Amino acid sequence: MSRFTLVLPALFLFAPVLPAQQAATSTPATPKAPTYAAIPVEAVRTPNPVKSSPESLARAKRWWTLDCAMCHGKDGNGKGETAQDMKLTIADFTDDATLKDRTDGEIFYIIKNGHQDMPPEGPRVKTEENWDLVNYVRSLAKTKPAADQKPQ
């Protein structure tokens, strides 16, 4: 009977804590993926100081081949080996509509800071090289003929 006397108060003492701990551990918070809306206004408005040129595109192509093509694809179609292995859905930069509403500043910000599953380049890529990459990404778009235009 004395054991029961010690156990009963302990149950009342710890009973309210146990359900709260179970609730906290059984429903982990799912972090929300950042959206393009999270890009600061000043970054959106930043103009590209690097003119797109054969030299700029050549510098960027080296970075693209080393760091970007594995996910974004060699031609920017979003079907790189790593992306396919990880079953990632990546934007098709060969479609000129993909980035038509994005500023160069937004693209620069995304390269530097990352987006969703894309890791940030951060300080690994110098500022000018990052702008070269913006030029390169823009160069991947291929204008598609309008559906109502007939070839002559």
Express each pLDDT in 91-145 by its tens digit. 999 999 999 999 999 999 999 999 988 999 999 999 999 999 999 999 999 865 5
* pLDDT value, residue 142: 83
Judge whether 101 and 19 are in contact, CB under 8 Å.
no
For the chain, domains (ranges, CATH) are 50-139 (1.10.760.10)
- pLDDT of 63-90, one tens digit each? 999 999 999 999 999 999 999 999 999 9
Give the residue among 58, 59, 88, 57 at the shortest CA–CA distance from 71: 88
What span, in angstroms and rounded, lies between the C-alpha atoms of 135 and 114? 17
pLDDT at 6 over 80: no
pLDDT at 147 over 80: no
Give the residue among 87, 66, 68 at the shortest CA–CA distance from 77: 68
What span, in angstroms and rounded, lies between the C-alpha atoms of 64 and 58? 10
Q: Kindly report the pTM of this predicted structure.
A: 0.71
